[in-house]
Structure 1
Amino acid sequence: MDPAAGHSPRAPASVSEVSPHATESACLLIADISGYTGYLAGVELDHAQDILADLVGTIVSALRPAFRLAKLEGDAAFTYAVTDKLDGSLLLDTIERCYFGFRRRRRDVRQASSCDCNACVRIPDLGLKFVVHHGTILRQRVAGHEELLGPDVILVHRLLKNDVVASTGLKAYALLSQQCVDAMDVDVSALGMRAITETYEHIGAVGLWVHDLDRRWREEQERTRVFVDEGHAAYRLDTPTSAPPQVAWEFVTTPGRRVAWQLGVTGVELIASGNRRGVGATNHCMHGENATIEELLDWRPYDYFTNRTTVPTPMGPVRFLATTEFEPTSDGTILHQRFAAPRTAKERAIMEQLSAWLDDVMRTSTARLAQQLEEELERRRSEATDEPELPRARPDGPLAGLSSP
């Protein structure tokens, strides 16, 4: 929200305006395209700028709306999210999905370009890394633009200069400060992150954790897909919402959110390595004294997830596969929920008897979900501030004809 909204006319642009919110807790994230300085040597600058504009757009789009763009800094995007605590699963999902999208876009741009100039040929030389910190910020408007100020803003930028490559050999990574980890609800050591320490002038020693994104990319490529499509769905329900897939995903997958909209759910207990949601995790979805067990088999933020669900009934347990897909549309998302038929004749018979009850539960729950998503969107709109414009590739440049990221 514009700090001046509802107040007297704005002062001249040369005057700084301090946000009335004073200091706020925030997660600060910088996504930096690595290797760009070396890439510029001996390449065609106009083509290089088109490629940079396209890749930066891919990165910022993938980080939104969880993170807002504070500033574009050459080949880096400085973003932030105002929050006291961090949902570690959502944060890591956002970072990894952004990196995966960057890898795919880099490949697509290279394949789509018929140009054989150095700038286009050397696209694979470009990499991506992240630095993430949690601290306090002061938002201030300078010449009509919002600026973030404070020691933690300085620190997250200092983290870009580090010895991660030399000490670990990793080129694609997310570097999380200890303050960031302390604000998260996951066990980063159990997730395989490495602890390191960097020392900076006037700051001292800073504890950090390194997340290997190249390893996560390989795991993503090798993982088996488990997906219930329309042809194999014994039950399906499609729910439109104006929320983008990222926001819908947050409400559907976060245990605390589910309790608020899913009918009859009194609690969700997550059992997972490092307390991170994803493949191999199990949700115990409590309905009073009874629990529905959901084993996560596939996890593709913010596209879909699939679980093997076991539902206790008076006639015996029923087991089936369920996929929840988030289809992006021009004005939001269509949430597709599809259940495959149980494998045994007994379970199919039980599910048939429960079909009317199941349909009522699903429709009531998704109606609640859609309403809460609308309320959340309205809240976010009321707090929104202007973001810097993203650079655009020339319509007649080497990427002409390639669809937007």
Structure 2
Amino acid sequence: MKAAPTLICIPDISGFTQFMSDMDFELTSRVIPSLLNNIIYSNEIELKVSEIEGDAVLFFRQGELPPLDKLVEQCRYFYTEFYKQMNTLRKKHSDKNGAYKIPEMLGLKIILHYGQEIGVVPVGKRIKLMGEDVIVAHRLLKNNVPIDEYILISDQLISEYDSISNDDFDWASLKESSIKIKHMGDVGFKYINLKPLTE
């Protein structure tokens, strides 16, 4: 295993647990895989899939980072295509009890992080990412952000670009926050609400 600088991107379906609990299995078994596939096929910046984690896709990219505007546009595309697919599924399964609630119950948040030393390890036919920053990226999913749908960009990733500001986003304002991770200390990040893109 050789560690290398790596971009981590995790689009995560919010509302997943409640949806799985409230809806019947036949509906959830069609909707969730379709949405995860939609996320994978909406990838336009050569991200690679490491794992599908139930309600999330763990993407990574080693080597040169994409330009910030391309990364932001990719996140927008994940989100808008996700909503198009939810509305398609709502209509397709309109005969199923509760299908009309699909766009109300589910949403998308996207975590972006960067690590200098992340290893890519083959495990069977799968690829496993290894390293402290993989833990950080997953821990960032459990944050204090007061909204359900957003892009979260770690300060570690932001530091790889010349700057990042509201000028890079034309639909909402960046907010700042941080979380404390055991054994790792404070991890800062910025986040921006995605919801205005569908309003």
Whole-angstrom CA distance in 1 between matches of 2:197 and 2:175: 14
After superposition, the C-alpha distances for 1:187-211 in whole angstroms (9 at most, x for unaligned) are 2244431111111212211110002
Whole-angstrom CA distance in 1 between matches of 2:177 and 2:197: 19
AA aligned to 1:121 is Y
Confirm whether residue 196 of structure 1 aligns to residue 177 of structure 2: yes
Runs of 4+ in 1 over 3 A off after TM superposition: none
Whole-angstrom CA distance in 2 between matches of 1:114 and 1:145: 36
Confirm whether residue 109 of structure 1 aligns to residue 89 of structure 2: yes
Aligned ranges 1:374-385 → 2 under 5 Å: none
The answer for the alignment partner of 1:41 in structure 2 is: 21
Equivalent residue in structure 2 for 1:178, among 147, 150, 155? 155
Q: Structure 2: 5+ residue runs without aligned partners?
A: none
Residue 114 of structure 1 deviates from its aligned partner by 2.9
SS at 1:184 equivalent: coil
Q: Structure 1: 5+ residue runs without aligned partners?
A: 1-17, 219-405
Q: Is the 8 A contact 2:51 2:126 kept in 1?
A: no
Equivalent residue in structure 1 for 2:190, among 190, 196, 209? 209
SS at 2:50 equivalent: strand
Confirm whether residue 122 of structure 1 aligns to residue 101 of structure 2: yes
Confirm whether residue 157 of structure 1 aligns to residue 138 of structure 2: yes
Specify the structure having the higher radius of gyration (Cα): 1
Whole-angstrom CA distance in 2 between matches of 1:37 and 1:46: 16
Q: Is the 8 A contact 2:11 2:108 kept in 1?
A: yes
Residue 121 of structure 1 deviates from its aligned partner by 3.0
Task: Calculate the TM-score normalised by the size of structure 2.
Answer: 0.90
Classify 1:174/1:149 alpha carbon distance in 2 versus 1 (closer, same or farther; 3 Å): same
After superposition, the C-alpha distances for 1:281-331 in whole angstroms (9 at most, x for unaligned) are xxxxxxxxxxxxxxxxxxxxxxxxxxxxxxxxxxxxxxxxxxxxxxxxxxx
AA aligned to 2:96 is D
SS at 1:41 equivalent: helix
Residue 65 of structure 1 deviates from its aligned partner by 4.6
**What percent of counterpart residues are identical?**
25
After superposition, the C-alpha distances for 1:113-160 in whole angstroms (9 at most, x for unaligned) are 232323x23212101001110113111112242211000111101111
Q: Is the 8 A contact 1:39 1:122 kept in 2?
A: no
Residue 181 of structure 1 deviates from its aligned partner by 0.9
Q: Is the 8 A contact 1:87 1:185 kept in 2?
A: no
Whole-angstrom CA distance in 1 between matches of 2:27 and 2:188: 39
Equivalent residue in structure 1 for 2:76, among 96, 101, 105? 96
Whole-angstrom CA distance in 2 between matches of 1:77 and 1:67: 11
Whole-angstrom CA distance in 2 between matches of 1:34 and 1:112: 21
Whole-angstrom CA distance in 2 between matches of 1:73 and 1:176: 20
SS at 1:95 equivalent: helix
The answer for the alignment partner of 1:25 in structure 2 is: 5
Whole-angstrom CA distance in 2 between matches of 1:80 and 1:25: 10
SS at 2:195 equivalent: helix
Aligned ranges 1:140-289 → 2 under 5 Å: 140-165=121-146, 170-191=147-168, 192-218=173-199
Residue 66 of structure 1 deviates from its aligned partner by 2.4
Equivalent residue in structure 2 for 1:71, among 35, 46, 51? 51
AA aligned to 1:123 is I
Q: Is the 8 A contact 2:50 2:126 kept in 1?
A: no
Whole-angstrom CA distance in 2 between matches of 1:152 and 1:84: 17
After superposition, the C-alpha distances for 1:8-64 in whole angstroms (9 at most, x for unaligned) are xxxxxxxxxx3xxx1111110111000010111232112201100111111111124
Q: Is the 8 A contact 1:86 1:185 kept in 2?
A: no
Whole-angstrom CA distance in 1 between matches of 2:33 and 2:167: 37
AA aligned to 1:180 is L
AA aligned to 2:85 is R
Task: Calculate the TM-score normalised by the size of structure 1.
Answer: 0.46
Whole-angstrom CA distance in 2 between matches of 1:146 and 1:126: 28
